[in-house]
């Protein structure tokens, strides 16, 4: 047997490669909008475009009237207040919401992690 094959069989002691346990990050909550967060989080696409009716189907309830008429509801939600906590659904999924109210759609684009 060639001498170089003995080199591969040598034991160098404990294995250098070890697998470290990775702690799972806690799931962020978005209150009643949690189903939307889960939907967006589990999409691999960088851009997800949903009709307002599809968003309502995901949530299981109707969006407020302001979501259908006011672009600011989607763009400048104040997450520090209870009224603006709905934006946590897409912000926790690392996405921005860009509504097209005439087409009744919202584009959720993934930002930098």
Q: By CB neighbour count within 10 A (0-12 exposed, 13-18 middle, 19+ buried), where does 1 fall?
A: exposed
The confidence score (pLDDT) of residue 107 equals 96
- Model confidence pLDDT, tens digit, residues 70-85: 998 998 656 565 556 7
Q: Is 23 a residue whose pLDDT tops 50?
A: no
The confidence score (pLDDT) of residue 66 equals 92
């Amino acid at each position: 047997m060639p001498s170089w094959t003995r080199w591969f069989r040598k034991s160098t002691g404990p294995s250098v490669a070890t697998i470290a346990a990775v702690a799972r990050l806690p799931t962020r909550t978005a209150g009643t909008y949690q189903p939307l967060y889960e939907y967006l989080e589990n999409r691999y696409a960088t851009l997800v475009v949903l009709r307002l009716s599809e968003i309502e189907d995901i949530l299981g309830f109707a969006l407020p009237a302001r979501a259908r008429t006011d672009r600011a509801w989607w763009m400048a939600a104040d997450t520090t207040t209870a009224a603006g906590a709905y934006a946590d659904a897409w912000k926790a999924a690392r996405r921005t919401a860009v509504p097209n109210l005439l087409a009744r759609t919202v584009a959720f684009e993934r930002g930098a992690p």
